Amino acid sequence: MAPKTLHPDSLAVHAGREDLASLGVHALPLDLSSTNPLPDLELGGMSYEVLATGGHPFEGGSNVYARLWNPTVARFEEALARLEHAEEAVAFSSGMAAVTAVLLALTHESGRRHVVGVRPLYGGTDHLLASGLLGVETTFCTPEGVNAALRADTALVVLETPANPTLELVDIAAVAAAAGDVPVLVDNTFATPVLQHPLDLGAALSLHSATKYLGGHGDVVGGVVACDARLASALRRTRAITGAIMHPLAAYLLHRGLATLPVRVRAQQESASLVAEWLRTRPEVARVHFPGFTESDPRGLVGTQQAGPGAMIAIELAGGFDAAAALTGAVELFTHAVSLGSVDSLIQHPAALTHRPVASDAKPSDALVRLSIGLEDADDLIADLAQALDVSAFARQRAASTTG
């Protein structure tokens, strides 16, 4: 069977591994070399120039140095590109390194310094864009305001869907149409290639904090961008100059994680739907943000743009910040920690943590708590949230009676 005909589940298992049998191995090889032998001075120099300027290794040449190229990283990139329906992918040491590389590469390539940021965005991305650290000027807007925000010197439009942390869904095709010739970067971390393919909808780049669902086990940090070959070359050049290449061990773990990605996402999504439905019944919860609910998906993007609602939930507590703080402190099965997409369930307060640097007018509510649903039994997760909500409610009642 030709690889291009494989079901996505099969592709997740086999992409980037097709040559293993011919190599006489079954598990993914791991190359930890920091430097590589040179065939001779002329070929070594040619190899260095090709790789440092964003090219691929050539027959008879050398990988030269790990900052320029690593075969384990390249295998992961090939697999992710195929899952994302992209020509190529470029892997970085972290998600923020990937965002930084995109900004540097596209502003340098175009000579333009203006970016449009569609809020809400991950706090780190928002902070980077707002800081002007890379010499970039950013106009923030809603999805409907993209066209009006464009300028003659706009190099890039950045959006995230589902958005972090409120899980708002953005119509990628509509934003791409509004952006016209300006490339659009979509942070696809929450949806993953299992549920969404931004490049098929008009985006130029699809970015992941690979630390999250792609790795899936909370033990690796990385970022990756899927795009066409021209943009990939520019990103590799930027990566070579800045030294932000992914470590080969991280690439090994991420490539291994891709094999179970579809199974994990679907199982986590199923549990998230049950937990979200239950949270709607609790009086302590003023609002549940979950793409599977009509009120969270007014444009009907789940089932069209996005194959399913995903496994992230955001809730707003009726008791505000105090209730949110009490809930995060009372859970037992959930881990109170930043990040998401792991096999274990996590809970965090975005306004106080990941979105702390975001401008006050764009910061999420102090009452909002974000849940990343893992692979635990849904009933056990519900039981943990129930006891934590009970504990936090009792604590607030006691505090109220004491002050009264």
212 carries an active-site annotation? yes
Secondary structure letter of residue 29 according to DSSP: P
Give backbone dihedrals phi and psi of 342, rounded to 5 degrees, phi first. Answer: -85, 170
Secondary structure letter of residue 287 according to DSSP: E
Q: Which listed residue (122, 236, 264, 384) is catalytic? A: 122
Q: Cα dist. 189→39, 132, 159, 339 in Å?
A: 40, 24, 11, 11
Q: Which listed residue (31, 67, 151, 228) is catalytic? A: 67
Find the distance separating the first CA and the last CA of the chain, reported in whole Å: 73
Q: What is the DSSP string of 176-224?
A: HHHHTTS-EEEE-TTTHHHH--GGGGT-SEEEEETTTTTT-SS----EE
363 carries an active-site annotation? no
- Structure-token match 């390194």, residue found: 97
Please list, in sequence order, all residues whose beta carbon lies within 8 angstroms of the beta carbon of residue 276, skipping any fewer than 6 positions away: 288, 290, 292, 293, 313
Question: In this structure, what token pair is assigned to residue 289?
Answer: 């943000």
Strand-pairing partners, residue 346, are: 335, 372
264 carries an active-site annotation? no
Q: What is the DSSP string of 238-251?
A: HHHHHT-BPPHHHH
Query: Within 10 A of 264 (CB to CB), how many other CB atoms are there?
Result: 22
252 carries an active-site annotation? no
Q: Which listed residue (171, 187, 297, 384) is catalytic? A: 187
Question: In this structure, what token pair is assigned to residue 142?
Answer: 């809603």
Q: Are 365 and 134 in contact (CB under 8 A)?
A: no
- Gap between the Cα atoms of 176 and 184, Å rounded: 6
Q: Which listed residue (212, 237, 363, 370) is catalytic? A: 212
Q: Are 169 and 297 in contact (CB under 8 A)?
A: yes
Q: Which residues are catalytic?
A: 67, 122, 187, 212
